[in-house]
């Protein structure tokens, strides 16, 4: 029986973690994900989980402890944001390179400087090449669901998974949510069965030693192949989750795309706001649509261009900037994928909402207005725009 509840995003994720009951959680608090380890340590103190909670002195140590515990054979989770994720940078590559199925919760927040605690995607986008699967969440329900699915995806793919949701907007907003019974979550995630692990006293192994040139390249290639293969694993796990909950997840979600002439690609909570904008436009006869990637790693580079190919104009929205003198990550990767698939659509990049600048339905409508103009003329005057910061 599903349980009707109302929880903040952080409460929802902490609840998922309680129901998963991992072997180890190691975390260091940082706004806006602080509440996740805070709630979880309450569950530990109250004996509601069997987890070993390791209160560490930094995020670098948090991920280091996760790596140790995961290599030992445990099911391991952590949570962080912003500077904390940046501080983990070195250990993220090690977790992925060692193929450890750690689940890392990321309450997305801007990076300093200037100091800012509010939401954008600079943190998770900054570690996009670390070798983690990245799942992005529109709301509390998706944060909860993806946390549960992440554990299974990580262990099937032998790749760590990052679950990303918007700081404050999702993490601190209370919304309706449907929870699973703990028993069903337990059945869904099952037990971790590592092929090899450090605490296996039948078979002594060493993990994480140095690789000479050829072995290093081979291992990196294996990781890359595993990331490619993770697309199918995400789909399989999502299908299984659908059978359990009736909630459908894929690599990405399409909204009103079937006959769409202008479209927006956008991650996380702004996707919800964009759906409202699409409905408004549809009501006045404008054929607008939206695509919300759920998996950014692995990038659905074959599927997404297929979904976008019939558009007359497209805007890809990034809640971060690459500061490369050109454009931002989601735009660059998607247009590259489109080019490879010979999908040519006039495409704009909108960088929006940095440092938590609020994004209203009207802001999204202004992007669609621009797209209508581009669709008519076919002309892209300039590629990269900063939403609300122009004129």
Partner 1 sequence: MIEIRWHGRGGQGAKTASLLLADAAFNTGKYIQGFPEYGPERMGAPITAYNRISDTPIRVHSNIYEPDYVVVVDDTLLQAVEVTKGLKEEGAILINSSKKPEQLRQYLNGYKGKIYTIDATKISMDCLKANFPNTAMLSAIVKITGIMSKDELLSDMKESFKHKFARKPEVIEPNMVAVERAYDEVAGGNE
Residues that bind partner 1 (CB under 8 A): 6, 117-118, 139, 166, 168-170, 172-176, 269-270, 272-273, 275-276, 358-361
Pairing between strand 76-80 and 24-27? parallel
Tell me whether residue 126 or residue 272 sits nearer to partner 1 (CB atom).
272
Task: State the nearest-atom distance from the C-beta of 363 to partner 1, in Å.
Answer: 8
Q: Calculate ∠ Cα 75-76-81, nearest 5°.
A: 155
CA dist., res. 334 & res. 310, Å (int)? 15
SS3 label, residue 318: strand
Q: Nearest distance from residue 269's CB to partner 1, in Å?
A: 4
Burial of 281 (0-12, 13-18, 19+ CB in 10 A): buried
CB of 376 to partner 1, least distance (A): 28
Please give the structure tokens belonging to residue 215.
């072995």
Q: Least separation, in Å, of the C-beta of 250 and partner 1?
A: 18
Name, in order, each residue with C-beta under 8 angstroms of 199's C-beta and a sequence gap of 6 or more.
72, 73
Write down the least CB distance from residue 275 to partner 1, Å: 5
Decide whether 292 or 370 has the Cβ nearer to partner 1. 292
C-alpha 144/C-alpha 13 separation (Å) is 5
By C-beta, is 132 or 350 nearer to partner 1? 350
Nearer to partner 1 (CB atom), residue 70 or residue 273 = 273
Strand (E) or helix (H) holding 71 = helix 59-71
Structure tokens at 61: 């140590």
Helix (H, G, I), strand (E, B) or coil at 245: helix
Which CB, 115 or 380, lies closer to partner 1? 115
What is the distance in angstroms between the CA of the first residue and the CA of the last residue of the chain?
53
CB of residue 270 to partner 1, shortest distance in Å: 7
Which residue number, 41 or 270, has a Cβ lying nearer to partner 1? 270
């Amino acid at each position: 029986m599903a349980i009707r509840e109302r929880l903040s995003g952080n409460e929802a994720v902490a609840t998922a973690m309680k129901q998963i009951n991992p072997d180890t959680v190691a975390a260091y608090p940082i706004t806006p994900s602080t509440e996740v380890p805070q709630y979880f340590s309450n569950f530990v103190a109250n004996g509601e989980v069997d987890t070993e909670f390791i209160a560490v002195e930094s995020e670098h140590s948090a991920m280091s402890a996760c790596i140790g515990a995961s290599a030992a054979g445990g099911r391991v989770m952590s949570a962080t944001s912003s500077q904390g994720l940046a501080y983990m940078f070195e250990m993220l590559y090690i977790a992925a390179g060692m193929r450890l199925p750690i689940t890392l919760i990321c309450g997305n927040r801007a990076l300093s400087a200037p100091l800012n605690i509010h939401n954008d995607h600079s943190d998770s986008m900054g570690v996009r090449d670390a070798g983690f699967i990245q799942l992005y969440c529109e709301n509390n329900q998706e944060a909860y669901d993806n946390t549960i699915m992440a554990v299974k995806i990580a262990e099937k793919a032998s790749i760590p998974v990052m679950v990303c949701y918007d700081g404050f907007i999702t993490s601190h907003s209370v919304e309706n949510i449907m929870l699973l019974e703990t028993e069903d979550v337990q059945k869904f995630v099952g037990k971790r069965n590592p092929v090899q692990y450090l605490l296996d006293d039948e078979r002594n192994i060493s993990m994480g030693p140095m690789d000479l040139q050829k072995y290093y390249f081979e291992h990196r290639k294996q990781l890359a192949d595993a990331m490619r293969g993770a697309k199918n694993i995400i789909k399989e796990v999502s299908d299984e989750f659908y059978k359990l909950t009736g909630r459908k997840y894929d690599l990405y979600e399409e909204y009103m795309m079937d006959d769409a002439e202008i479209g927006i690609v956008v991650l996380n909570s702004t996707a919800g706001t964009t759906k409202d904008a699409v409905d408004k436009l549809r009501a006045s006869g404008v054929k607008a649509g939206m695509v919300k990637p759920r998996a950014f790693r692995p990038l659905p580079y074959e599927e997404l261009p297929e979904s976008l190919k019939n558009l007359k104009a497209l805007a890809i929205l990034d809640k971060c900037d690459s500061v490369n003198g050109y454009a931002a990550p989601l735009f660059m990767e998607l247009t590259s994928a489109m080019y490879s698939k010979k999908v040519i659509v006039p495409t704009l990049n909108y960088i929006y909402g940095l440092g938590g600048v609020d994004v209203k339905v009207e802001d999204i409508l202004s992007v669609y207005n621009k797209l209508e103009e581009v669709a008519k003329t076919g002309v892209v005057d300039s590629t990269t725009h900063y939403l609300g910061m122009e004129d």
